[in-house]
A and B are shown apart, each in its own frame.
Chain A
Amino acid sequence: GAGVSQSPRYKVAKRGQDVALRCDPISGHVSLFWYQQALGQGPEFLTYFQNEAQLDKSGLPSDRFFAERPEGSVSTLKIQRTQQEDSAVYLCASSSSSGVGYGYTFGSGTRLTVV
């Protein structure tokens, strides 16, 4: 596609509910990243995939957060038993290479509100 697509654009979840956020990267992009952005803060890294391999998940805040990219294209970020502190914008980015010289293309994000 022309850009990175994320869905849904907005999600309201009741505390304790499970949610799944989807990311469609640019076709052929090898690298895919998830970030969490709290209100008024810069994006914070959650996890990184190279094709279907999850190479870095050091930023996932708890074991309630799980990400997958089974076929090396679309990725899903799942949050189990959501809590109010999970309210944030979740951004996905993809890149054609992990090397320097290639910019990352970000989606517009999913705004999650936990009530």
Chain B
Amino acid sequence: DAKTTQPPSMDCAEGRAANLPCNHSTISGNEYVYWYRQIHSQGPQYIIHGLKNNETNEMASLIITENRKSSTLILPHATLRDTAVYYCIVRPTDTGRRALTFGSGTRLQVQP
């Protein structure tokens, strides 16, 4: 699976947009970009995923660059409850390797 690089930590003011970057320069054509987050003392929670088009759901937006070497997760109006570790993961469509490979993620602290 392609390796991802994320900043270890970020701060964001409550009510402002949080933009979390992820580099995946070795991503291959059949790999999707997934985002999960983990709030303290809970298991990881699925946020969004995409292949090459930008995606939006009720939680967030995912912007993938045209060359697919990087992406940005956008939380449009961050709240204190969005404080968590955010993981960017790339995963092949179906190669028999079905597990998610987590890195260290970005610890997002939303400030009041």
Contact = CB atoms under 8 A, between A and B. Distances in A.
Please classify the interface of chain B as helix (H, G, I), strand (E, B), loop, or mixed, using the class held by over half of its residues: loop
Interface string B77-100: 000000001010001011011111
B98 A56 contact: yes
A25 interface: no
B86 to A, nearest CB: 11
Contact of B45 (A59, A101, A106): A106
Nearest to B98: A98
Interface in A45-104: 45, 48, 50, 55-56, 59, 91, 93, 98-101, 103-104
A108 interface: yes
A42 interface: yes
Interface residues of A, number: 27
B103 interface: yes
A4 interface: yes
A91 B100 contact: no
Contacts of A106: 42-45
B102 to A, nearest CB: 3
A104 B46 contact: yes
Contacts of A98: 94, 98
B68 interface: no
A100 B91 contact: yes
A18 interface: no
Interface string B36-76: 00000111111001000000000000000000000000000
A45 B43 contact: no
11 contacts: A33-B98, A42-B87, A45-B99, A48-B98, A56-B98, A91-B43, A91-B44, A100-B49, A103-B46, A104-B46, A106-B45
